[in-house]
């Protein structure tokens, strides 16, 4: 893993394409906005190859069989059988096959038990959907053409629209309200606005916020590259024309896939079995010669050698492979009844031996959906009027309807506000943009028009001159502004995203609305959103801790929201470390942090994998639970990789165990399953 950081150096990969303005980009990279001709495309495909990320192919059935057949214990038994074939058959006057047959029956039994369970589990797990779409729209010979994704090449012009999956790494050339979902790569649930120039998403008074004085990019992750679209992500809203800058293994997704090793490191259970096998082999190497030397003077060479081999057989636990395979197979069957697919039988034992569980936040600790939790007036008191105005704004806006708008509408419906939809009609709209950071709708109830605006607290405060408290309108004062900022900050510290709401009524004479009409408005209050923790999460974490399992959160989400969720589910949040901090530390420095910190935020995929690797190398049995592309390296580095059936393909391929329900309670079942197996072993030995 030492070279992973270099392989996915974001600045190195995208500096040239992202820093240049559109015209210079077209000139320097010789990109034609009308696209490639068929002949040019064919020539470039021959040069760069097909646009296919090379991922590990599913293993053939005989690979599973051979791995089961030549497990450490089976290898010892087969070696003993080979010796017996020489002593009891070849050298003996009357051949005796009894011992050989017994050993072969034991080997075949354990092999078939393990083979059928693992093969069937992996066969079920391999029924996956394609990670990216099979076709995409490009400009070829100046016309829009639908082609297979693998035929897309560098220099192609890709046409994107809502719902499109991005087939390669793209530089945005033209965009109209383009929002892209990057959660599968970054772990962040919010849609990201993509723009033509790197600084276009920011306030005009910011000068190149993404670049430093020396020309290097001022970024922590791909989330900061607003004019680059990444392979494997998808368009939430808007449209765009983009130039293909990287394909196949050269893309960011390809680099992440490239960092995933071809095989997992050995688990604690596998290491234990190997150590026992090595111990038995050492005993044999020492005992067989000693026994042979002591007996050869009194008996014939054949008799002495046969007796020495018999001693070797006696010290070998012949039934152990069968017991292991049968117990683990039964465990896998019991787990399947609890909606769990076990891809590797060995992982059941490691599953129950986990002492460190690393998990993402969204969907594991939380419900994976944003809900409106508070609607407050200017003094922080609950007021349904705030919810009503936010509802009208969210319901009638026609642009990007994100999680926030859905949360507002859902809460309003829960509070029987559908009747307002019959009363109010949409007149006009002032769409959201990142420079204003607010959105306005103009609605009418038949008698009067009303402009309702929601947005970031600072931006809303900047356009308000009055406040409305319980129906009474008064001028806004510095004290009121300071109090609003204080309440907003307090909610932020609790992990809530805060949005302010304001309105204006004196707009009867305005027929065409624009941004300039967002002034002299009346502040109503604000609304707070939270992705709530699962009801079962706190109890599950407490039980995991009581079972000796330390729960750590590794997420790409921001600090405030993560801290709030972790507090609610009982994870110590006194110390929280960001990915940019550990990037500067050596492995020893990160190890010191791991001893005292349970929460790491704004992590890249490689930073997650590094933490898991260091925990594993520190003699911990590490379980990792994740479902995105960004989780795949960590799933590989862990002792037990745990994913879900709704995960992306590469995550499911990298996992040892696949859950049909994403819930920490399943891990407790794994602990209990291991205890059952241990009890069986103790009864036998």
**Could you tell me which residues come within 8 angstroms of residue 570 by beta carbon, excluding any fewer than 6 positions away?**
538, 541, 542, 545
List, as one string, the DSSP characters of 134-186: SEEEEEETTEEEEEEGGG--TTPEEEE-TTPBP-SEEEEEEEEEEEEE-HHHH
Q: Are 197 and 25 in contact (CB under 8 A)?
A: no
- Return d(Cα 452, Cα 441) in angstroms, integer: 6
List, as one string, the DSSP characters of 183-207: HHHH---SEEEE-SSTTTTS-TTS-
Query: What is the chain's alpha carbon radius of gyration, rounded to the nearest angstrom?
Result: 32
Residue 611's φ and ψ, nearest 5 degrees, are -60, -45
596 token code pair: 């005292």
**Could you tell me which residues come within 8 angstroms of residue 551 by beta carbon, excluding any fewer than 6 positions away?**
357, 359, 541, 544, 545, 571, 598, 664
Q: Which 3-state string (H, E, C) describes 351-413?
A: HHHCCEEEECCCCCCECCCCEEEEEEECCCCECHHHHHHHHHHHHHCCCCCCHHHHHHHHHHH
**250 included as an active-site residue:** no
624 token code pair: 């990792």
Residue 116 burial class via C-beta count within 10 angstroms: exposed 0-12, middle 13-18, buried 19 and up: middle
Q: Are 533 and 368 in contact (CB under 8 A)?
A: no
Paired strand residues for 139: 144, 157
- Return d(Cα 256, Cα 251) in angstroms, integer: 9
- Angle of CA points 649, 653, 655, to nearest 5°: 120
User: Considering 360, 383, 631, 663, which one is annotated as catalytic?
Assistant: 360
Q: Are 19 and 215 in contact (CB under 8 A)?
A: yes
Q: How many residues can be counted in the chain?
A: 685
- Return d(Cα 435, Cα 459) in angstroms, integer: 9
- Return d(Cα 537, Cα 356) in angstroms, integer: 16
Question: Given the structure tokens 């077209």, which residue do they identify?
Answer: 26
Question: Given the structure tokens 């959160």, which residue do they identify?
Answer: 553
| Packed helices 665-684 and 320-337: angle between N→C axes, nearest 10 degrees | 150
603 token code pair: 């992590």
Residues marked as catalytic? 360
């Amino acid at each position: 893993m030492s070279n992973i950081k270099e392989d996915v150096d974001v600045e190195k990969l995208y500096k040239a394409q992202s820093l240049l303005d559109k015209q210079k980009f077209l000139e320097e990279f010789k990109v034609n906005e009308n696209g490639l001709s068929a002949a040019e495309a064919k020539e470039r495909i021959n040069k760069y190859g097909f646009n296919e990320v090379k991922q590990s192919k599913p293993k053939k059935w005989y690979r599973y069989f051979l791995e089961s057949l030549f497990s450490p214990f089976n290898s010892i038994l087969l070696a003993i059988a080979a010796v017996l074939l020489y002593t009891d058959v070849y050298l003996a006057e009357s051949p005796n096959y009894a011992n050989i047959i017994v050993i072969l029956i034991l080997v075949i039994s354990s092999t078939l038990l393990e083979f059928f369970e693992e093969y069937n589990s992996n066969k079920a797990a391999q029924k996956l959907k394609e990670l990216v779409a099979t076709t995409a729209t490009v400009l070829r010979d100046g016309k829009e053409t639908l082609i297979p994704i693998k035929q897309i090449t560098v220099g192609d012009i890709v046409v994107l629209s809502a719902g499109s999956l991005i087939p390669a790494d793209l530089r945005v050339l033209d965009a109209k309200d383009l929002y892209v979902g990057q959660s599968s790569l970054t772990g962040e649930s919010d849609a990201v606005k993509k723009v033509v120039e790197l600084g276009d998403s920011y306030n005009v008074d910011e000068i190149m916020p993404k670049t430093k004085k020396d020309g290097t990019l001022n970024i922590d992750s791909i989330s900061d590259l607003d004019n680059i679209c990444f392979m494997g992500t998808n368009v939430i809203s808007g449209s765009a024309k983009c130039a293909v800058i990287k394909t196949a293994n050269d893309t960011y997704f390809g680099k992440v896939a490239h960092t995933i090793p071809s095989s997992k490191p050995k688990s604690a259970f596998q290491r234990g079995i190997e150590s026992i096998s090595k111990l038995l082999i050492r005993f044999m190497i020492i005992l067989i010669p000693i026994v042979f030397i002591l007996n050869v003077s009194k008996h014939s060479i054949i008799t002495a050698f046969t007796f020495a081999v018999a001693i070797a057989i006696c010290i070998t636990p012949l039934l152990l492979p069968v017991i292991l395979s049968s117990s683990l197979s039964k465990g896998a069957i019991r787990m399947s009844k609890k909606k769990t697919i076990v891809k590797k039988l060995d992982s059941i034992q490691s599953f129950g031996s986990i002492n460190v569980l690393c998990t993402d936040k969204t969907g594991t600790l939380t419900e994976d959906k944003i809900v409106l939790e508070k609607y407050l007036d200017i003094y922080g008191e609950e007021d349904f009027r705030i919810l009503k105005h936010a509802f009208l704004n969210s319901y009638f806006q026609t642009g990007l309807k994100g999680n926030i708008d859905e949360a507002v509408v859902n809460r309003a419906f829960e509070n029987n506000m559908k009747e307002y939809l019959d009363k109010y009609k949409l007149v006009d709209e002032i769409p959201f943009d990142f420079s204003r950071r607010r959105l306005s709708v103009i609605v009418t109830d038949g008698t009067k028009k009303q402009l309702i605006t929601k947005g970031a607290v600072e931006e809303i405060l900047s356009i308000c001159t009055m406040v409305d408290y319980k129906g009474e309108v008064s001028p806004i004062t510095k004290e009121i502004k300071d109090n609003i900022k204080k309440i907003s900050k307090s909610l932020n510290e609790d992990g809530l995203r805060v949005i302010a709401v304001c309105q204006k009524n004196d707009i009867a004479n305005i027929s065409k609305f624009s941004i300039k009409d967002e002034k002299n408005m009346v502040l109503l209050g604000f609304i707070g959103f939270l992705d709530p923790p699962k009801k079962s999460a706190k109890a599950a974490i407490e039980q995991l801790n009581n079972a000796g399992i330390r729960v750590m959160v590794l997420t790409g989400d921001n600090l405030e929201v993560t801290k709030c969720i972790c507090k609610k589910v009982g994870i110590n949040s006194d110390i929280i470390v960001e990915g940019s901090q550990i990037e500067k530390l050596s492995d020893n420095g990160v190890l010191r942090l791991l001893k005292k910190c349970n929460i790491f935020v704004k992590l890249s995929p490689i930073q997650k994998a590094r933490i898991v690797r260091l925990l594993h190398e520190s003699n911990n049995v590490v379980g990792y639970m994740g479902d995105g592309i960004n989780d795949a390296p960590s799933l590989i580095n862990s002792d037990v990789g745990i994913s879900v059936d709704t995960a992306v393909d590469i995550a499911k391929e990298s996992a040892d165990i696949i859950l049909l329900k994403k819930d920490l309670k399943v891990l407790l079942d794994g602990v209990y399953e291991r205890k059952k197996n241990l009890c069986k072993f103790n009864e036998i030995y």
